Structure 1
Amino acid sequence: MADIKIQRSHALGMDKARALALDWMNGDAKQLGLTCTLQQGENEDIIQFERMGVTGQMTVRPDAFELDTKLNMMMAPLKPLIESEIDKNLARILAKAEGGTPKA
């Protein structure tokens, strides 16, 4: 198994971070074929996701998103590509939500 761990700090606060995560869950995650479940908490939410070859969770906090993904051995060779795309997309989404442009 290959692990992908990404953490991105932000200044959105919990309400905006939660809304952004829900948009991701109901949009991009569905397009990727991910099945998601949401556990909302007072100080953090956890979105668990899975599809064939991929399992993981996104922790949504008022000041950060943490993504922990596990790839099975068939998906492991694609880890660098998957990790790069996740990181790039998360940066783009956060930059847009914060009113800026993503860093190259």
Structure 2
Amino acid sequence: MPDIQISRNHSLGLAAARAHAKRWGEKAAEKFGVQCEYDAGETQDLLRFSGNGVDGQLRVTASALELVAELGFLAAMFKDSIEAKINAQFDALLA
């Protein structure tokens, strides 16, 4: 079971959600040193991220963003802070 699960519905459509997700991945790579891999699909995309004690993925569809992440031992100590930051980032992306 993942340590962090975040789901957000939106009305952006896939193209706009894809752009936001790619930008989120770029910022995560810069700020937190994670490696990101983005796979675009016809009806959904998948952004995989890994590094600094965090492994997860962000599923992007025309109507939702769904993030799941597993935290390593040290990162787990900051779970609440990490989850709050991701929630705030998603709030800002979808505002």
Give the structure-2-normalised TM-score. 0.92
Q: Quote the residue 2:25 is aligned against.
A: 25
Q: Quote the residue 1:101 is aligned against.
A: none
Cα RMSD (Å): 1.4
1:10-89 to structure 2, matched below 5 A, reads: 10-26=10-26, 28-31=27-30, 32-89=32-89
Residues 7 and 36 of structure 1: is their aligned pair in 2 closer, same or farther, counting only changes over 3 Å?
Answer: same
Q: Quote the residue 1:91 is aligned against.
A: 91
Secondary structure of the residue that 1:38 maps to in structure 2? strand
Instruction: Tell me which amino acid in the other structure corresponds to 1:51.
Output: G
User: In structure 2, what is the Cα distance between the partners aligned to 1:8 and 1:61?
Assistant: 10
Larger radius of gyration: 1
User: In structure 2, what is the Cα distance between the partners aligned to 1:66 and 1:2?
Assistant: 12
Gaps of 5+ in 2: none
List, as ranges, runs of 4+ consecutive aligned residues in structure 1 with deviation greater than 4 Å. none
Identity of matched residues, %: 38
Secondary structure of the residue that 1:59 maps to in structure 2? strand
Q: Quote the residue 1:99 is aligned against.
A: none
Deviation per CA, 1:20-54, whole angstroms, max 9, x where unpaired? 1112222x122121101111110100000011211
Give the structure-1-normalised TM-score. 0.84
Gaps of 5+ in 1: 96-104
